[in-house]
Amino acid sequence: MDENYISGVKISKPLPEESYLNSLPAVRNLIRQGGLSFEKRVTFLVGENGTGKSTLLEAIAVAAGFNPEGGTRNFTFSTRATHSELYRHLTVARRAHPKDGFFLRAESFYNLASNIDEMDSEPSFGPPVIDSYGGRSLHTQSHGESFLALIENRFGGNGLYLLDEPEAALSPSRLMTLLVRIHDLVQKHSQFIIATHSPILMAYPSAVVYELTEDGIRQVDYRETEHYQLTRRFLENPERMLRYLLEE
């Protein structure tokens, strides 16, 4: 892959004045800054809760043809239509078409696992769907094990992979396993856009880290992020940090 599958996004149609999306920093600043580019194989969206990074990632995924609750472009299940209308106002600049792809969102992963089991409970002339996910129901594994089973078995390369807070189910050592898998897939011509709070993931070499704040969206070194700085200060002197946090 000489070029990324998605090279950028911008809001091309005005949002309704009454839309709550106008209050999200990610949306306001995307409009003000004219869009966002994805020039590296791995891009991270980071920021405090409520800045809109997951909403933005969801809109990119839906605009790119993925199911709002996660999965491949072939997944159509819906347990509750809670996704925003942002995707309707978003233009996704594409340079190539991936052969593979997946939208992984932590908050609806249970629903995705249930849908796979439901599909395999119906008569079919082909192999079970779960075979593409390691051959074992994702519900029979721990949350972290099922995440890794998905990433290690279903992600095949030449793909566009959008991950929303994948660290939610993973221990530090498993996050490092995920880093290795991301690198393997990048070598197989894949692109990742990841919304995360994890300083471990943000350390991926040559990745672009976009920090979303009230004031704007800016590219930063991961060591500049609040996530990295707070984690480092805590680990270097937890006693001091706890005294500061817990003093009455």
Q: How far apart are CA 164 and CA 45, in angstroms?
A: 9
Tokens 């006693």 correspond to: 239
pLDDT digits (tens, 9 = 90+) for 109-167: 656 777 777 776 777 667 777 877 787 877 877 877 888 888 888 899 999 999 999 99
In this prediction, residue 2 carries a pLDDT of 56
Q: How far apart are CA 213 and CA 217, in angstroms?
A: 6
Residue by residue, what is the 3-state secondary structure of 164-186?
Answer: ECHHHHCCHHHHHHHHHHHHHHH
Q: What are phi and psi of 168, to 5 degrees?
A: -55, -30
In this prediction, residue 96 carries a pLDDT of 84
Which residues in the chain come in under a pLDDT of 50?
Answer: 1
In this prediction, residue 81 carries a pLDDT of 56
Domain ranges within the chain, ordered by starting residue = 6-246
Which fold does the domain 6-246 belong to in CATH? Answer: Rossmann fold (3.40.50)
Residue 154: closest CA among 185, 195, 115: 185
Q: How far apart are CA 108 and CA 79, in angstroms?
A: 9
Go through the chain and tell me how many residues it has: 248
What single letter denotes the amino acid at residue 143?
A: H
